[in-house]
Structure 1
């Protein structure tokens, strides 16, 4: 019932037939064709019938990265392309949505209730909500089990960084969603980092480190995205921005903020080295801070795992590019049945041939 209930995320299906009606038509079409493409399609259809996988994308990232905005843009794009989406909100503190979630964790537990009943703060309350979710996974199973392979399950996650660094809840949830024999969802992780971080390179490498942490913890196909690209237009040159798509330690060698600070204070690198940390105006400055940043950047570069895609939700082509990478990661199109020509299309083709 959940899979077919009407809602804003269900793609229009004006001429849908049941699987019992479609099989004979497809079989006749495939038998009549002897090309290699038809043979591949028949083998793919057989594999697909044997294992009906679901498909999903978990949208993650720090607070303010634009996760819910990206989910809304992705759902809108899917609707325009006659594809169905099932929107799951797993942020127990979220209040407003552009698209109403098909499944909302607040139906199970809310952050406000957890904080009031257990006496926890915001971060502790959120962890409690996810522990409660892990104890009630049947709630997820009942909602997602009936979905077909035509849906893209979009899971909107909260922004607390603890979930993506050292707490093992998220890997356990991802394993539950993707393990064969249960929900068997082919999952991809989409990690958003705000593009304005490129202005402050220390903050950029800190965000990239959290992205790599999530990548290593979840062990699923992973896409890293620089979101809100529209906010950095005019601030960062395109040639300079390309350097951030594949981060390396070279970005720290010509940090404009660091050069500006030294020029303002009339310092050079040797002056920073000679100062005691408690003599600086702020601890987050000087040679010690640069060494820390360089160590973090060197760690990221040594793994050589992080590459970013650019996202501007106001640009339809940008959203389509991210969706294309997600589809490739989860092999969405390979599992779809070959499309059958509509009767109206056939009539139009015949009229054009006669003309």
Structure 2
């Protein structure tokens, strides 16, 4: 899960490639009714049930309203998922690739209902791990980083399933920030606002802006105003008080990085504990 453009489908593709190289079974479910291109063709695609383009054309809805309608339609036709997933064994890692509309993870109750359906005992009974991706480049803008972290915490509280928060696209920022400095962003805290590079640059330039007296159309003035700083401090304080959000680092181009994330996912869903012990054939046992 995560906002648009954070690399969800890229991570899914890297994960599937890694699983296949290690001879593990994967079942890829695309739940983005607007997705068109895939590195690995989905085993189950929501567009076979309903597509965003058709909804927008027939019902004259916008992209956000159309996507919500698609998920409501899916909830009315859950046998679409059951028919495909019910026969899968515990050896399969089922990967759900979600859309990027943030509304689904914050205040619309569709996803919690879907999660309950997938996890309820006696039916599919799937052990879920929610992986929420946030682009690592957000750390270059403290306000954007805290806003993204707040959305991650909102998704954690709403879905109520084991949850991993991941900073994606690490390959794009590794040359822009020292490792020592980057470690401070693994767990959000209010001290990050004390040395915001943007504020430091403004102070060095002698820029002092009072948001209450500035032009409301002047974005730079608004972003440097006292009210905006108080808002960021309040968000940072909220995250620090709950102490729920911390991040793993992901570089989808690095197989070791993908394996590290997969190891966390396996632990969360207790993948290895669910596997049946494999007995060696008698002749191999005798040779050993």
TM-score by length of structure 1 reads 0.78
Give per-residue Cα distances to partners, 1:219-273, cap 9 Å, x unaligned: 0000000000000011011001000001101111100012113333x13xxx445
2:173 counterpart (218, 232, 249): 232
Alpha-carbon distance in structure 1 between the residues aligned to 2:130 and 2:264: 11
Alpha-carbon distance in structure 1 between the residues aligned to 2:170 and 2:282: 43
1:163 and 2:104 matched: yes
1:133 and 2:74 matched: yes
| Structure 2 residue aligned with 1:44 | none
Instruction: Specify whether residues 234 and 346 from structure 1 end up closer, same or farther in structure 2 by C-alpha distance, changes over 3 A only.
Output: same
Instruction: Specify whether residues 275 and 217 from structure 1 end up closer, same or farther in structure 2 by C-alpha distance, changes over 3 A only.
Output: closer
Count of matched residue positions in the alignment of Structure 1 and Structure 2? 286
Give per-residue Cα distances to partners, 1:135-163, cap 9 Å, x unaligned: 11011111111111110100000000100
1:194 and 2:131 matched: no
Give per-residue Cα distances to partners, 1:94-131, cap 9 Å, x unaligned: 00000000000000000000001110001110011001
Q: Secondary structure at the match of 1:225?
A: strand
| Structure 2 residue aligned with 1:321 | 260
Shift of 1:343: 6.0
1:276 and 2:217 matched: no
Give per-residue Cα distances to partners, 1:144-187, cap 9 Å, x unaligned: 11111110100000000100111110111111111111110001
Alpha-carbon distance in structure 1 between the residues aligned to 2:151 and 2:217: 28
Alpha-carbon distance in structure 1 between the residues aligned to 2:242 and 2:27: 34
Shift of 1:285: 2.6
| Structure 2 residue aligned with 1:90 | 31
In the TM superposition, 1:197-276 aligns within 5 A as 197-264=138-205, 266-267=206-207, 271-273=208-210, 275-276=212-213
Alpha-carbon distance in structure 2 between the residues aligned to 1:190 and 1:274: 37
Give per-residue Cα distances to partners, 1:13-47, cap 9 Å, x unaligned: xxxxxxxxxxxxxxxxxxxxxxxxxxxxxxxxxxx
Alpha-carbon distance in structure 2 between the residues aligned to 1:229 and 1:250: 22
Alpha-carbon distance in structure 2 between the residues aligned to 1:236 and 1:112: 41
Q: Residues 211 and 227 of structure 2 are in contact (CA less than 8 Å); yes or no, is this contact kept in structure 1?
A: no
Q: Secondary structure at the match of 1:154?
A: strand
Shift of 1:345: 4.8
Which runs of no fewer than 5 residues in structure 2 stay unpaired?
Answer: none
Alpha-carbon distance in structure 1 between the residues aligned to 2:159 and 2:2: 13
Alpha-carbon distance in structure 1 between the residues aligned to 2:154 and 2:2: 11
Which runs of no fewer than 5 residues in structure 1 stay unpaired?
Answer: 1-59, 351-355
